[in-house]
Amino acid sequence: MIRTCAAFLFSTSLLACSASLQTPKESEERPNILFIYSDDHATGAVGCYANSVVASHAQTPNIDALAADGMRFDRAFCTNGICAPARAVVLTGKHSHVNGVPDNGASFDGSQATFPKLLRASGYQTALIGKWHLKSTPTGFDHWEVLPGQGEYYSPAFERPGPNYVEGAPIAEGTIERRRLPGYATEVTTDLAIEWLEQERDPAKPFLLMVQHKAPHRSWMPGPEEHALYEGQQLPEPTTLFDDYAGRADGAKTQEMTIARHMWLWYDLKVRSAQWGLADGEPILDGPDKWAQGMEDRMDEAQLAAWDAAYQPRNEAFAAGVRSGELSGAALVRWKYQRYIKDYLRCIAGVDKSVGELVTWLEEHGLDQNTIVVYTSDQGFYLGEHGWYDKRWMYEPSLQLPLVVRWPGTIKAGGVDDHLVQNLDFAPTFLEAAGLKPAADIQGLSLLPLMRGEEPGPGAWRESIYYRYFEVGIHAVPQHYGVRTERHKLINYYGLDQWELFDLELDPDEMTNLIEDPKYAETRERLKAELTRLRTDCGDQD
């Protein structure tokens, strides 16, 4: 499949002024881009990262194979660790305060420049399948079919353009078509992606295909093939599962995202007939079956029967443990952690199979050599570290992203990169890979030099990253911004007027706040100055 430059050059006249041609070689074949994006997948749950107590239990052979054939980025981070903001950063290559999506409540302004739009204008065929979560309808795609809002795990509804749809126009009657598809979201999303590749892909054009999974987002509902995984096993616990947050800023003490006190027994942990208002108390059993009520219009009879066959014996054992008094206090927290981490890893196993199916499809159709395959997630997640689930904080488990990229011929197999990279970098990377010059207002850096294994010269790569979390209210995580270097992290909880400083080399679990430690006075002042510089540079002066 040789793509000549004629169509390419013609179509560049359609380019918006925010990207320009970079003189690609006459016969250069532009790469396809397969961007596989999961939701809340921590590096701690990717086998090849091997950086958590459960990593060796994660069933991620296909993601690990991508890394083995390509490159694993060991210091990849988000700029704002929640779903919608991260997605807006990926599309634009710009920080939240610039792209207009600081929190999950904001609607993405689809009229702004995005890399899919620019790729499409330059002759790429563009498609998006799965989770979108940006409120406005997608722009820049020749084809899209997305989960409304957070989407559902079972019998998910999908939305796509209807007959009267006009890109960018306000949503009106008949512009959006909604259909419910039987099955499990990860599998349905994969099937829709392969269906697009087989039926709608234009072989005369390079493609961008974004496959965006709901999994492993809360409430971590595994697919039918993964119900039995880890059955009978006891998975290891993080050493900080019973963190008391001593010595850290007040936000860590007042947050509402603990496995112990804030997980819902019926919704998160699927204990049918359990009450959800657990807080500090013991579980109340024999309540209304809220879980089943929630599943009534989601699971068909066969799905529900398969689910119950796996979960009801476990739930009965749980109820017996509660009634006997065995499951209370720390034992109850440990039980919740086991249920949570197993369901989370079961969802990951499903995502990994999707990666395998998509890569296999490329191989079977001779497209694997000229396709950049990226696997990443919108942000990380707490797998019981600090006693938590969820994300949002600038602490490592949610700040860090899994990022593996395979691109035969450009990336040498088995590469590991430890430069500081961010989700800001996807847009300029994809634009440059397509022969386009990223616009000057893009705030990320192209990863291409790193992918080629080049060592950027002194001053040619960032030595620190800027992070800011804006959302108010949810899980009571205080707003904060901060700077991370290779070794240190400084966080300012500006609403609380409190700071945290961590030495990641000596304290990778971020348990000791060094902000008042005289030995770190110089580091603290240097990082404060760096934070000010970063805020000025990216224009976040609010």
Longest CA–CA span in the chain (Å) reads 75
Tokens of 242: 């019973």
Question: In whole angstroms, what is the distance from residue 383 CA to residue 317 CA?
Answer: 23
State which residue, 104 or 410, has the beta carbon closest to Ca ion: 104
State which residue, 96 or 122, has the beta carbon closest to Ca ion: 96
Least distance CB 41 / Ca ion (angstroms): 9
Q: Are 67 and 48 in contact (CB under 8 A)?
A: yes
Least distance CB 391 / Ca ion (angstroms): 6
Closest listed residue to residue 358, CA positions, set 347, 348, 344, 371? 371
Q: How many CA atoms lie within 13 A of 404 on its CB side?
A: 27
Beta strands in 439-487 (DSSP E): 465-469, 480-484
Least distance CB 475 / Ca ion (angstroms): 13
Least distance CB 257 / Ca ion (angstroms): 14
β-pairing verdict for 76-77 and 125-131: unpaired
User: What single letter denotes the amino acid at residue 68?
Assistant: A
Least distance CB 379 / Ca ion (angstroms): 5
Least distance CB 87 / Ca ion (angstroms): 9
State which residue, 31 or 222, has the beta carbon closest to Ca ion: 222
Rule CB under 5 A: which residues touch Ca ion?
39-40, 83, 378
User: What single letter denotes the amino acid at residue 227?
Assistant: H
State which residue, 18 or 38, has the beta carbon closest to Ca ion: 38
State which residue, 85 or 384, has the beta carbon closest to Ca ion: 85
State which residue, 40 or 417, has the beta carbon closest to Ca ion: 40
Least distance CB 156 / Ca ion (angstroms): 17
β-pairing verdict for 421-422 and 436-438: unpaired
Question: In whole angstroms, what is the distance from residue 496 CA to residue 515 CA?
Answer: 15
Closest listed residue to residue 497, CA positions, set 325, 250, 142? 250
Question: In whole angstroms, what is the distance from residue 175 CA to residue 162 CA?
Answer: 5
State which residue, 423 or 443, has the beta carbon closest to Ca ion: 423
State which residue, 382 or 520, has the beta carbon closest to Ca ion: 382
Which residues, in sequence order, are bridge partners of residue 468? 481
Least distance CB 347 / Ca ion (angstroms): 13
Residues 6+ apart with CB under 8 A from 483: 464, 465, 466, 467, 489, 490, 527, 530, 531, 534
Question: In whole angstroms, what is the distance from residue 131 CA to residue 145 CA?
Answer: 9
Least distance CB 83 / Ca ion (angstroms): 4
Spacing of C-alpha 226 from chain mean position: 21
Least distance CB 344 / Ca ion (angstroms): 13
State which residue, 83 or 351, has the beta carbon closest to Ca ion: 83
Question: In whole angstroms, what is the distance from residue 219 CA to residue 228 CA?
Answer: 17
State which residue, 38 or 446, has the beta carbon closest to Ca ion: 38
**Residue of minimal Cβ distance to Ca ion:** 83
Under the phi-then-psi rule, with left for phi > 0, alpha for psi from -120 to 50, and beta for the rest, what region is 313?
Answer: alpha
Q: Are 227 and 342 in contact (CB under 8 A)?
A: no
